[in-house]
Amino acid sequence: MEAYMKLFADSLGVEVSVVKTLQYQAIPAWDSVGHMALMAALEEAFSIELETDDIIDFSSFEKGIEILKKYGINLK
């Protein structure tokens, strides 16, 4: 979970303390470009390749946890 939280913070330039509340386009940094940077960071860190539908559905910190479970990554 710590690695996931740090990826969010580093990719979007926010404090780790706020990542759990983040949703797509709720902050300027999480626009389409920020989204793709976050997806690339997640793929690299967890050695996965996200499906296009999962990239599109990745709309919040919590939704990301749910999506990553499909790839065998259990963060809770």
Q: What is the pLDDT of residue 17?
A: 95
Domain 2-69 has CATH 3.40.309.10: no
Q: What is the pLDDT of residue 2?
A: 93
The per-residue pLDDT for range 31-61, each reduced to its tens digit, is 999 999 999 999 999 999 999 999 999 999 9
Burial string for 58-70 (b: 16+ CB within 10 Å, else e) reads bbbbeebbebbee
pTM above 0.75, yes or no: yes
Strands (E), the chain: none
Region 21-29: what's the mean pLDDT?
Answer: 96
**All structural domains of the chain with their residue ranges:** 2-69
* CA distances from residue 76 to 21, 27, 34 in whole angstroms, order as listed: 16, 25, 24
Is 90 exceeded by the pLDDT of residue 76? no
Q: What is the pLDDT of residue 36?
A: 97
- CA–CA dist 52, 31 (Å, integer): 17
